[in-house]
Amino acid sequence: MRLAKYLAHAGIASRRKSEEIIVAGRVRVDGKLVRDPAFGVGTGDEVRVDGHAVEPEGREVWMLNKPLDVISTADEPGKRVAVVDLVNSSARLYPVGRLDGDSTGLILLSNDGELANRLTHPRYEVEKTYRVKLKNPVTAEAMEQLGKGVRLEDGLTAPATVRKIGDRAIDVTIHEGRNRQVRRMAEAVGNEVVGLQRISLGSLKLGRLGIGKSRLLDEREVERLWKDAGND
């Protein structure tokens, strides 16, 4: 593991700040001063910052039901609440992907960067389902268009799975992660999203988790997420 990543996992600082700490000459590995953030460390290496021993954190993966106006960042410098503020953990957690401030529902937070990358990178095609409330009644033609893919400014979307659950409500399942994609898809078929909630990510379902509530995933759930991301 890269030394900067090791320090970040130990909760010392963010990855970028950890790199600065290393370059500043504050880190020793097995008694040797190391200034290279990419220096490799492994099991059994003694890592010290300013003379104090550090250990990497155990892996944690949390599910949060994100409320409106909460920001999907690890640190919100303004007045708005960040998702990490709603999780009761001392680990250095980062959001896995993002949900815009005007969207709600399932978001993961974790200190496992590899899992986060697999769940968010388009090549792994992890499915995400959104419950969408629309301004206008949804038509059969719009349902067909969304299912086949619609053209946006950044290209044609991949086919989506679309299920009508009400006159102005649909569930949309996609595996891409373009910026505000579902909202733009609705606009492309002449409608407008007035409410957007993510209800599943891969095999993980939001279920009855209350708004603003979070829970730590168990090992079986985490293993299923790895499988969702193509790691058997």
Tell me which residues are annotated as active site. 100
Let me know: does 110 contact 97? Beta carbons within 8 Å: no
List of residues 6+ apart from 204 with CB closer than 8 A:
63, 106, 108, 217, 221, 224, 225
Sign of the dihedral through C-alpha 67, 73, 75, 76? negative
Helix axes 113-120, 219-228, angle to 10 degrees: 40
Six-digit token string for 100: 């815009």
Helices (H), 11-133: 15-23, 113-120
Strand order in the sheet with 47-49: 32-33, 27-29, 47-49, 52-53
Give the contacts of 165 (CB within 8 A, at least 6 positions apart).
131, 171
Residue 2 burial by Cβ neighbours in a 10 Å radius (0-12, 13-18, 19+): middle
